[in-house]
Each structure stands twice: as C-alpha cells, then as structure tokens.
Amino acid sequence: MEQFRLPAIPMPELKLPAAVRQTLDDAEAKLAGRPKLQRLFRNCFPNTLETTTKLMPDGTTFVITGDIPAMWLRDSVEQVIHYVPLAKDDAGLQRILEGLIRRHMAMILIDPYANAFNESANDWHWNTTDETDMGPWVWERKFELDSICFSFRLAYAYWQETKHTAIFDTDFKRAMRAAIDLWKREQRHFEQSPYRFVRDNGIPEDSLRNKGLGMPVNYTGMIWSGFRPSDDACDFHYNIPANMFAVVTMRQMQEIAEWVFRDMALVKELADLAAEVEHGIRLYGIFRHPQFGPIYAYETDGYGNHCLMDDAGTPGLMSIPYFGYAAADDPIYLNTRRFALSSENPYYFEGKQAKGIGSPHTPDGYIWHMALSMQGLTAISDEEKLAMIDLLEATDADTGYMHEGFHSDDPSVFTRKWFAWSNSLFAQLVWRAMQDGLIGRG
C-alpha cells in the first residue's frame, strides 16, 4: 500500500474554556438579527477545540487538521490563533495554547524539515514510500519554509497577549537555534543542504524535480523552500511570501532573545540574517508588471525568472498585512492585491455564484473559503470586509461550516467538509468585525 491514511475520528471531547463560551454567548446576542451567520459563528469559532484538540498527559497539546489524523505545524497554529486574544485571563486556554507551543518546539527538535507530525512515534506516514529521511514521529516531510515560522508566530502572539514567559524554556531556545541553523543552511541549498524529497505517485506537484533537489537557484540571501503552504512543490524555490514571513519571524525572535533570554549575540545573529533575507526580497522579489506596476512575485529562482500568481494558502501575497510584513495600504502591496484579484492571477476565478482566489491544489474554478476570509481580514474598506462576510455566509452549501475549495458556479460542490483551519479563519474575520462594530447589535 503506497499511501497510508486513517479514517477521520473526532478527538476526545474537550470542555470549552470560559472565555470561548463567553464569546459564543456574546455572539448569540450580537448576531440575533442574522440567524444563518449566527449559526456559522456558533459552529466555526469553537470547531478546533470541539473536534481537533487533544490534551496530552505530558502537558502538551495535539491538534489535528480535521479530516487527516496528523498535526500540521502551520494549520494547527492558524486553527487556534483566534483564541489568543481571549487567553490573558483564562487558565483553560492558557493550558491549551502553552501545550501546543511546547509540542511544536519538541517536533521542531525532532525534525525541522517536516511539515506534519504524528501523535506518537507510531511510524504512520502520508505516503509510505517517500524518498527522504523519514522518522517515526513524522507524518509528512515536505520542507515548507513557513511551517516553523508559524510555530514562533504563536509563541510570540501568546507572549504579547499574556506576558507569560514559562514557554521560553531550554527546549524553546534549542528550537530557535535549530530554526536559525536550518535557515542559514537553506540560503545555500545546493551547496549545503541534505534535504531531498521524491514521491513516486504520478503527481508532479508532490515531488521535487532534479532527483529530489529541486530546480536550480541562484544565491539571493533568501531561504530556499521545497514546497508551498498548499503542500505543492514550488516552481521556483524562493517563495516570496514565505521569505517575508521568515523576516517577520526573525524580528519577533529578536525580541524574545533580547527581553527573555538576554542573549545579545543571538539578537545580532537574527538581525543580520533578517537583513540578508529582506535584501533578497527587495532585489529579486519585485516584478515590474506592465498593467499593475511594481508587484511582489509569488516565487523566483534568482536568475530573473518569476512565478506570477497567488494561492489561497497563508502565507500568500494577499496575506502580507495579516502576518505583518507590510501595512494594508503599502503601495506595492496594493498593486499586488489588485493583481491577485484579477484574471492576471491564473488562480483567480469568477463564476455564477462567487469570485475569488483558488489554488493549483484544487481544480480550476474552485475558490477557497480561506481566500475570501483573508481578503476580508486584509481589506482596507469596511464595505469589502462586509462583502466577504456576506459571500462566505452565502457559500457554505447550508452545511454550517466552511470548506476548502468550492465551485464558483455551484457552492454545493466542494472539497473537505471538515477543515478546521478554514473554520477558524472565517471565525476570526467575523469576530474582528463584531469587535469593530461592523456587524451585530451593540
């Protein structure tokens, strides 16, 4: 059997923390005039805790992605990030989030190249014949630059919200060291990296060309990535949004190194590395588009070739303000956003029922709910934010949940009915809109 996949089984029931229950009660009142949106929020906001989260005996937290019984570093962070603003005075949420952070650091120390992990060292794998250096804890070993950035994103956000520093233990600092060493090594992938990945399943996007090394790249100062946030192979292996995210992550790690660990040598090392990556983005990652002006490319190889597209996954070009690289009114970002929401983006689709960004990970014509949620979260105007909420509300196929991709002509045709990340991102958009007074009763 080439591919090993267990049937989806809900996690043990977890009592909802008090702050989450209070948020749901508040939303019930505020959204009373919009019963369908009220139902969607009631379902989606707690979905990660109710169906994908398990408190482990060792004090860590394990969060599956939904219909796959493994924990993606990226997905699990985005599945819980909307709970962080509620955690300051809620011990139950603190237990869940601190446990997840500790779990992430442990997994990074096991294998910083892996993107998804098992609950135990059970030797289960997405594909049993992948040609890479697998281990028993690793579900999948696609190196995606953004993955471990998300791990540190959660730790930093939690620290900023709660001021708790217990998570910053010896393993956390060791994981920081592992990340820095990996990033430096992958700045010169062909010269220094041991990483290879080949999956012989007939799907080109699941494997790296050139005997698992990937296509040639020129040195730019940026960090090489094998795969995109969609888990599809990069065309050109300097993924610009992922490198932007890495710059943001390094700057956040500098604060931790300075104010928690008091390690000024580490602060300088991170600052120097961030400057190298930032220089590469500015020098190689901006494309002069004949219609939109200077825009950020999605990928480049450093030889003058660019991949011009955007994908529904985070980090993507649309999500640049969301993960903190540039402001939503940054001129190059605005040019890039106009490109991403146009027919010049090969993964932008307009149909009879909806228009928005999809992904090469799903068929042509399929829009992702996550892309619509991200469009709302990064919109400047209230009108666009509200339009995205309305569109999301109208395209759930009356299931009460968000999905992965749905057909732009018929939202009842969709992929992944249980996809917790999509539910969480939608809930975050609606929660922020309520906080800003854009929807709901006062």
Task: Answer whether residue 442 shows pLDDT above 70.
Answer: no
Tens of pLDDT along 42-88? Answer: 999 999 999 999 999 999 999 999 888 999 999 999 999 999 999 99
- The DSSP bridge pattern shows strands 355-357 and 410-414 to be unpaired
Whole-angstrom distance, CA of residue 286 vs CA of residue 280: 10
- Per-residue model confidence (pLDDT) at position 256: 98
For position 270, what pLDDT does the model report?
98
Quick check: 103 and 184 in contact, CB under 8 A? Answer: no
Per-residue pLDDT at 5: 42
Provide the pLDDT for residue 416: 82
Is the per-residue pLDDT at 2 higher than 80?
Answer: no
pLDDT at 4 over 50: no
**Cβ-based burial of 243 (10 A; exposed 0-12, middle 13-18, buried ≥19):** buried
pLDDT of residue 11: 62
Mean pLDDT of 103-125: 97
Radius of gyration of the chain (CA): 21
pLDDT of residue 326: 98
Q: For residue 304, how many other CB atoms are within 10 A of its CB? A: 8
Q: Does pLDDT of 193 surpass 50? A: yes
**Please, what is the Cα angle at 416 between 204 and 369, to 5 degrees?**
95
Domains of the chain listed by start with CATH number: 18-432 (1.50.10.10)
Higher pLDDT residue, 200 or 187? 187
Residue bearing tokens 């020098």: 283
- The answer, yes or no, to whether residue 259 has pLDDT greater than 90, is yes
Kindly state the percentage of the chain with pLDDT values over 90: 93
Residue 190 has pLDDT above 50, yes or no: yes
* pLDDT tens digits, 223-254: 999 999 999 999 999 999 999 999 999 999 99
The pLDDT tens digits of the residues spanning 364-377 come to: 999 999 999 999 99
Query: What does the block give as tokens for 54?
Result: 């398990």
DSSP alpha helices (H): ranges in 220-348?
240-259, 264-284, 331-340
User: Can you tell me whether residue 388 is helix, strand or coil?
Assistant: helix
pLDDT at site 8: 46
Contact 148, 174 (CB under 8 A): no
Q: Which two tokens stand for residue 359?
A: 């992904």
What mean pLDDT comes out for the span 4-27?
A: 77
Residues 6+ apart with CB under 8 A from 268: none
Nearest to 154 by CA among 61, 59, 259, 271: 61
Give the pLDDT of residue 10.
52
Structure confidence at residue 202 (pLDDT)? 85
Rounded mean pLDDT, 316-340: 98
What average pLDDT does the segment 173-194 reach?
98
Question: What pLDDT is attached to residue 417?
Answer: 87
The total number of residues shown for the chain amounts to: 442
Angle between helices 240-259 and 146-162 (to 10 degrees): 40
Q: Is the pLDDT of residue 187 over 90?
A: yes
Residue 7 has pLDDT above 50, yes or no: no
Reduced to 3 states (helix: H, G, I; strand: E, B; else coil), residue 90 is coil
Omega before 241 cis (within 30°)? no
Portion of the chain with pLDDT greater than 70, in percent: 97
pLDDT attached to residue 295: 98
pLDDT at 1: 24
Q: Which amino acid is at 14?
A: L
pLDDT at 401 over 60: yes
For 199, residues 6+ apart whose C-beta sits below 8 A from its C-beta are: 127, 129, 130, 131, 206, 207
Mean of all residue pLDDT scores within the chain:
95
